[in-house]
């Protein structure tokens, strides 16, 4: 029998997996000799968790808003009490450098307060006059399927508004980061939420599909790849009443014009491309630069990228850590091979990352930053069109803003973009032309504030932005007419 905390968390208790359908086994991506605890899973636990949530949800909703706010405030305080343990878990299991892991946990703590203020303001019950009003009602049971790149902050960004609005939750962490999910459940347990209001099940894609299409679920909140989002859409195609909130991938552009603030633009582009080792849906994977400044700017970006420290996740000097898993590294390197075959010219020669920490070498999923100039745009180019999710930046040289906007919008995705220029008129032209959910002006594409809506168009989402707007998809308005 697998120990309790590597099983599921259902009805406020840990449910060990006595007859596993599978076991998640991984090694720490920063040190492949560091074996992580195994997490067994059972498909039957999905039914149990959904049933627990359905049973608990009516009483949770009936508690009233003030009581739910009090519970979530205790959850915020519990997160703060376990801040260090949460950051270390993220860093060890996902490979995020400790500086970013700590920032992720701080964002989780802040997310509660943002949801209770800006988020809640969007879904206040409203009275028009003596006859007409509307109120906001919970959907019921919401499934939350988490990603590996922000294994706690992003699912937490669904869970908090879902609970606030009176829903019960079943959370399945990414199979890459089950330990982070288990630790989050232990924090929820310590905060004392009523049994069954929050439930956790572990598992692979089969478990995710079972939860995402479960007949007892009223909504599915997912952050991750377009491919998985499309599978969830298909599994729910015959259930139009089941809400889907999908925040998917990006192929984001950084547009640098001749009049850009040079030093700031170079710094921002490097931060946009290589934060979290390129493993953010908001990372800029395409640099589009106008010809007048292109040669100097590409050289400066390449110089800065080559100088970034690739190191062990716990090394405070490291800017980039490892990719999250051997599979992620394999996919990234396969895309790099395609880039070479398609003629994308390397500005930085690929190098093997030699990582030493605390006096010894570490064998991990490391990749050094890549910068490549694309000399021929090909509509079917996998390298140019697919999300790389690694430390890679493809560079396009264009003649003017019009061409830059055309190249930037020539993608199946529409999540983020950035424009670097001193001209407000140029920025406003870009804002009118680009189909993206988030746009920066002389600011990185990464690091969006949770006080803003966050989501994309085209294949980057389904018009249900998260951030402070996440409350809007966690409830529905009921119109009331009095005779």
Catalytic residues: 247, 281
What does the block give as tokens for 377? 């745009």
Three-state DSSP class for 75?
helix
Contacts of 422 (CB under 8 A, 6+ apart): 259, 260, 261
To the nearest 5 percent, what fractions of the chain are helix, strand and coil?
A: 40, 25, 35
Alpha-carbon dihedral angle through residues 333, 367, 228, 169, given to the nearest 10 degrees: 160
β-bridge mates for residue 373, sequence order: 345, 395
E strands within 119-195? 126-127, 132-138, 141-145, 168-172
**Residue 326 to residues 31, 205, 213, 332, 353, Cα–Cα distance (Å):** 11, 17, 29, 10, 15
What does the block give as tokens for 378? 């090909």
H or E element: which one contains 223? strand 219-223
d(C-alpha 377, C-alpha 343), whole Å:
10
d(C-alpha 16, C-alpha 440), whole Å:
47
For the chain, count helices (H), then strands (E).
15, 27
Three-state DSSP class for 373?
strand
Please say whether the beta carbons of 282 and 415 come within 8 A: yes
What does the block give as tokens for 424? 């407000």
Three-state DSSP class for 144?
strand
What does the block give as tokens for 5? 């905390």
Please say whether the beta carbons of 247 and 466 come within 8 A: yes
């Amino acid at each position: 029998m697998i120990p309790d905390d590597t099983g599921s968390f259902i009805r406020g208790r840990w449910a060990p997996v006595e007859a596993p359908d599978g076991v998640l086994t991984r090694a720490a991506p920063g040190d492949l000799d560091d074996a992580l605890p195994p997490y067994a899973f059972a498909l039957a636990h999905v039914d149990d968790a959904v049933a627990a949530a359905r049973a608990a949800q009516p009483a949770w909703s009936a508690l009233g808003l003030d009581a739910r706010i009090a519970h979530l405030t205790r959850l915020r305080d519990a997160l703060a009490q376990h801040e260090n343990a949460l950051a270390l878990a993220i860093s060890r299991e996902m490979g995020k450098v400790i500086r970013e892991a700590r920032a992720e946990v701080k964002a989780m703590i802040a997310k509660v307060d943002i949801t209770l203020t800006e988020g809640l303001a969007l879904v206040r019950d409203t009275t028009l006059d003596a006859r007409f009003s509307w109120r906001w009602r919970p959907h019921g049971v919401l499934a939350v399927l988490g990603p590996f790149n922000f294994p706690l902050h992003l699912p937490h960004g669904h869970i908090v508004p879902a609970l606030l609005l009176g829903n019960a939750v079943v959370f399945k962490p990414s199979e890459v980061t089950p330990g982070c999910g288990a630790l989050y459940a232990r924090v929820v347990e310590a905060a004392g939420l009523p049994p069954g209001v929050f439930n956790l099940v572990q598992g692979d894609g089969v478990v995710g599909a079972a939860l995402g299409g479960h007949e007892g679920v009223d909504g599915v909140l997912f952050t991750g790849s377009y491919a998985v989002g499309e599978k969830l859409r298909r599994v729910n195609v015959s259930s139009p009443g089941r809400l889907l909130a999908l925040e998917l991938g990006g192929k984001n552009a950084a547009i640098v014009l001749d009049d850009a603030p040079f030093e700031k633009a170079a710094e921002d582009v490097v931060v946009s491309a290589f934060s979290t080792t390129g493993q953010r849906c908001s990372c800029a994977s395409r640099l589009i630069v106008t010809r007048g400044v292109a040669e100097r700017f590409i050289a400066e970006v390449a110089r800065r990228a080559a100088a970034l420290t690739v190191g062990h996740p716990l090394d405070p000097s490291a800017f980039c850590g490892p990719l999250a898993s051997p599979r992620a590294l394999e996919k990234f390197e396969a895309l790099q091979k395609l880039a070479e075959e398609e003629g994308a010219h390397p500005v930085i020669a690929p190098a093997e990352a030699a990582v030493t920490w605390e006096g010894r070498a570490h064998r991990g999923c490391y990749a050094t930053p890549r910068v490549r100039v694309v000399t021929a745009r090909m509509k079917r180019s996998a390298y140019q069109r697919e999300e790389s999710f690694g430390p890679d930046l493809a560079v396009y040289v264009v003649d003017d803003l019009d061409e830059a906007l055309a190249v930037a919008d020539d993608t199946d995705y529409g999540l983020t973009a950035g424009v670097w220029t001193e001209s407000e008129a140029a920025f406003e032209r870009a804002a009118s032309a680009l189909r993206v959910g988030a746009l920066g002006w002389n600011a990185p594409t990464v690091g969006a504030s949770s006080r803003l809506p966050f989501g994309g168009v085209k294949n980057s989402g389904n018009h249900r932005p998260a951030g402070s707007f996440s409350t809007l998809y966690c409830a529905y308005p009921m119109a009331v007419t009095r005779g």
